[in-house]
Amino acid sequence: MREAGRITAEALCRIREMIKPGIPTIELDREAERYIKKQGAELAFKGYRGFPANICVSLNEEVVHGIPGDRKIKEGDIVSIDIGVRHKNYYADAAITVSVGAISDTARRLMETTRAALETAIQGIKPGGVLSKLSATIQDFVEGRNFSVVRKYVGHGIGLEMHEDPQVPNYRILPDEQMEVVLKPGLVLAIEPMVNEGTHEVETLSNGWTVVTRDRKLSAHFEHTVAVTEDGYEILTKLPQ
């Protein structure tokens, strides 16, 4: 999984460097495919439940599952890139949101809040901890900055499958004590706050995939694949500096 995570992170870095005004989003998809296959790995999203592209590219009000195509990125956009990799039967999954040139103060605060919410939640991971505290940390952090967390889509366990138990909500959950998920060494989670400028409500476009904010305000998305270790955690998709 470390290898899958490394390839995912490196692919994200390569795509991040390509993002500029005028580039069609399909070019990002093609570069991700080229690079990941060169590493001897597979693109986990292509064909998954029928998804038609190699990676997800979601712009501005698009929350997740944006399909790359002829649309060109422009100055002032924020672009969320989500990449999944399968390597030697193990999966990794990560996402970043990238600013294009000069963006609004609101967009910058939204991105910073989403990234920081993810980092804050990860820092609280330790053996014996509980999943509900991780989820509450994300919601409290985001709402403390006057943004909202998406409820309809959540993070997930990951390993031999892309999506495994447990689900990882980005909002406060009040589970029965007997159903509480305890964090144990060896558990690997894809933690992915999706944060909206306005309402937390979303809807899916007519293409059947692209999820957008209901009020068409901005959304940002950051994700890491994180392993619980004997003494804390390890980020498997940590991006190279």
pLDDT value, residue 61: 98
pLDDT of 240 higher than 90: no
The whole-number pLDDT of residue 175 equals 61
| Candidate CATH numbers 3.90.230.10, 3.40.50.2000, 2.40.50.140, 3.30.70.20; the one for domain 2-235 | 3.90.230.10
Instruction: Give CA–CA dist 27/115, Å, rounded.
Output: 25
pLDDT tens string 78-99: 999 999 999 999 999 999 999 9
Percent of the chain, pLDDT > 90?
95
Sequence-ordered alpha helix ranges (H) in the chain: 2-18, 25-38, 105-123, 131-144
What is the percent of the chain where pLDDT is above 70? 98
CB 114 within 8 A of CB 195: yes
Query: Rounded to whole angstroms, how far apart are CA atoms 105 and 88?
Result: 42
Q: What is the pLDDT of residue 177?
A: 58
| pLDDT of res. 173 | 83
Looking at residues 163-181, what average pLDDT do you find? 84
- 8 A C-beta contact, residue 81 and residue 28: yes
- DSSP notation for 166-213: EEE-SS-----GGGPPBP-TT-EEEE--EEESS-S-EEE-TTSS-EEE
Q: What is the pLDDT of residues 98-154, one digit of tens each?
A: 999 999 999 999 999 999 999 999 999 999 999 999 999 999 999 999 999 999 999
**Burial class (CB within 10 angstroms; exposed 0-12, middle 13-18, buried 19+) of 126:** middle
Mean pLDDT for the stretch of residues 155-182: 88
Domain boundaries, the chain: 2-235
Summary mean pLDDT of the chain:
96
Contacts of 222 (CB under 8 A, 6+ apart): 95, 96, 97, 114, 115, 117, 118, 192, 193
Q: Kindly report which listed range (112-121, 179-188, 213-222) carries the lowest average pLDDT score.
A: 179-188
Whether the model clears a pTM of 0.75, i.e. scores above it, the answer is yes
Q: Is the pLDDT of residue 178 over 90?
A: no
**Residue 158: is its pLDDT beyond 80?**
yes
